Structure 1
């Protein structure tokens, strides 16, 4: 079978046992270093994807994907919900209210965001029902001013179901200061734990009680909350719905409240990926040292090939092939073991915790109790392409040096 001269000789040089075992050792370490760099990048980026997915499902499962409101309170929220649900992206639309205030209990105070919800409808747009650890969401009854607190807030105030605390809401008035505090006594009817900062900053009350605190007439609500199929289309979808409803309607979405968090997570992933790429670059450029020593070791062979008619391009291609084979093998090994490690990293961490008896990831500190991993094919493809590209670039200079060897000079002392 016909094979190009450069491919034949380059592959032979890679397989052959060299007289200089140090060159073989450097070649092996370059291959291993490249594999470890690729493995590390795949595992770390998969874990970061897992963290981002976990935080997205928890935080964006609690906060509204989008809300539609009017300059005045909505007196027929069902009509707004029906109009919104005509859009293909809208899964559900429920009444919603939002208040900012302070919680007070035995002299201790804490800022809080209070959401007014309908307990019967809330599970259509939120994951709150899956994360109630004390009481029930259905215990929020209109007129009883019950509240469901986050686990961090309840632990901070040492509250249990049945305890009472005070909600302080600022209210515009004709007083000299322009704002006077309004106080409302609340009874704890439940505690939720989603494993995120919302456990210490969010509380839920009945939407009718929220309307009462806001001094809205009976039956009116502040806004309508939307759940979307693709939450990343929330800005476009909510804006389109508000425009269809007519003048005075306005839209808000999760990118206004949580967008900075997810932008920071995306930036963190990008920067860590670039830093880990330096590990791959160091391993790839070790190929330079390997090939330079091979060129010095094979100077006489190169000269003989040149005298037999090999062109400088063929000589250069020979060493490009040799270096590329090292890069391909190292990248392939790293990709295979990296994918296996990324798919099993959660089980591995769990095994280490059982063997050591220590919790590596405590839910009290990290909001999660395991190490999530989300392997994405695009990341694996990007990492492998980057590693192969760096490996190829690392072969160019030594290969060019080999092509510049003059036969007479190389064979003078042979």
Structure 2
């Protein structure tokens, strides 16, 4: 009982013990905050990395891809069919994207991915990062009328078919105005050489007036003009009826003699009515995100759904040739991973295969990857190893990797950073441990007489030792407990604290233009907190062991001799 009483007394009356408690508190709180933020970033990164990649990827050795992928998929199902949920194929090719913005072409280097919109979403979370709600339900490459989600003050909310029609009408109006200006400029060349008097300007009849001028007036004074056509023969109606046509039929109807011409005109590409093949761009490819002076970010779109872009990429020929095609932007992909949002563009699989000449009359179409999604609970590493054993890369035109292996360097870097931060922050608690060690040595020297009296009254060496070890344990419990509470409160209010720091310092703590997160992501892992608290308590106890041993070894006579 006296041991507990002494521990509590030292804890209440020793101000130097307060310094040790504060050291442990700050160390524990810092570790809780850092672990929670790093876990949040790591979790968000895993979700976004896995959002575009399936569980297992069978990737071609060459840019040209490999054929007979349906046979390979059937073989894969035989090897790991019980663990496979779904599969799809894609084509990957590096490309140059050109965006026409403010009368100049803006080039962007991207990786074009040809996907099957019916199956690609079954092996990845691709659609959940698209901007149009209909595409999040089922991906397709058709331009929508409206409804794209984005910042209220951005062009994205106005995108769609209506935006495209307005843009085409505006361009046509500009072209007509330029033509009128050119006609007026050319008409100025008919001025008499001897004067610059505008009254001497030779009038130039408009093209419309020339078209409306009667034919007889045009050719009346021309002796070489062809004879004017006479009235239509009386038997014209009978002949047209015999041929299945009708002179009175409207354009495009069955009796129209120019029906083929009208159908051709209807099938002619009209950018106000038709779209080019669709393309889904990463958000950062056609968007410049800048911070606002008053806070927040501003999105400047170089292109939005409804605009046309130019894509140039190598064909699958040998040697490869440059292939260019116009595509219509139909949606944006925003995973909030800069590597993806600034480097990927998605197009229909069949269109990309056709443009790159990836078809063979006997072998069919070629693909770059086969992507596999496993069933929940399946062992990713075990299935990957099994497929590698069945399809060695020296015998098959592809290699097999899991999504974690494909992103291994990035994931390893994040994990290494988290580990190093934990080690460095544990040193803070280690410094607090050395403070406890020095404090306890001072207490042993100061309380030598008290220790001698306790031993002369019958206290054992173990009892004396337990006083100091219990004192160290109490410091660890109080310091780690208070630090854990403060750390959790900081984590739960970290975004409010960040805004407060921004107001005080005038500088942005968390720049969303870099991380593409509107808030700092945090995840509190109970196991990490238990590890931090337990480690802090162990350090405090270990720091008190040596002084406790010294106090336990003091002889009562020698302890009292100093007095």
Question: What TM-score range do you get, normalising by the shorter chain?
Answer: 0.7 to 0.9
Residue among 200, 214, 220 paired with 2:365: 220
Match for residue 287 of structure 2? 155
Can you list the C-alpha shifts for 1:49-95, whole angstroms capped at 9, x where unaligned? Answer: 01110111112212333223677323527953982796444332122
Q: 1: CA distance between counterparts of 2:501 and 2:82? A: 45
**TM-score, normalising length from structure 1?**
0.83
**2:28–2:536 CA contact under 8 A, matched in 1:** yes
Q: 2: CA distance between counterparts of 1:283 and 1:230? A: 45
- By how many angstroms is 1:350 displaced? 8.1
Can you list the C-alpha shifts for 1:289-335, whole angstroms capped at 9, x where unaligned? Answer: 33223212321111122223444343223211221221122223333
* C-alpha spacing 1:216/1:158, structure 2 compared with 1 (3 Å): same
- By how many angstroms is 1:33 displaced? 2.3
Match for residue 186 of structure 1? 327
**1:131–1:193 CA contact under 8 A, matched in 2:** yes
Correspondence 1:98-177 to 2 at 5 A = 98-105=92-99, 106-133=104-131, 136=135, 137-139=139-141, 144-155=276-287, 158-171=302-315
* C-alpha spacing 1:270/1:144, structure 2 compared with 1 (3 Å): same
- By how many angstroms is 1:165 displaced? 2.6
**Aligned Cα root-mean-square deviation (Å):** 3.5
Match for residue 54 of structure 2? 64
- By how many angstroms is 1:242 displaced? 5.6
Residue among 21, 38, 47 paired with 2:37: 47
State the secondary structure of the residue aligned to 1:16. helix
Match for residue 521 of structure 2? 372
Match for residue 3 of structure 1? none
User: Which structure has the larger Rg?
Assistant: 2
Q: 2: CA distance between counterparts of 1:293 and 1:229? A: 63
Residue among 375, 379, 392 paired with 2:541: 392
Can you list the C-alpha shifts for 1:120-175, whole angstroms capped at 9, x where unaligned? Answer: 2232223332222369441259x95321101111125811223333322234666x
**1:66–1:253 CA contact under 8 A, matched in 2:** yes
Q: 1: CA distance between counterparts of 2:277 and 2:71? A: 22
In the TM superposition, structure 1's runs of 4+ consecutive aligned residues that sit over 6 Å from their partners are 353-359
- Residue 10, structure 1, aligned to residue 159, structure 2: no
Correspondence 1:65-104 to 2 at 5 A = 65-68=55-58, 72-76=66-70, 80=74, 83=77, 87-104=81-98
**TM-score, normalising length from structure 2?**
0.63
Q: 1: CA distance between counterparts of 2:23 and 2:308? A: 61
- Residue 252, structure 1, aligned to residue 396, structure 2: no
Worse-superposed segment, 79-88 or 387-396? 79-88
**2:98–2:106 CA contact under 8 A, matched in 1:** yes
Can you list the C-alpha shifts for 1:363-382, whole angstroms capped at 9, x where unaligned? Answer: 32321111222122221222
Give ranges in structure 1 of 5+ residues lacking alignment.
Answer: 1-7
Equivalences, count? 399
**1:67–1:238 CA contact under 8 A, matched in 2:** no
Residue among 351, 355, 369 paired with 1:209: 351
Residue among 465, 488, 494 paired with 1:316: 465
From the two aligned structures, give the one with the greater strand fraction. Answer: 1
**2:7–2:468 CA contact under 8 A, matched in 1:** no
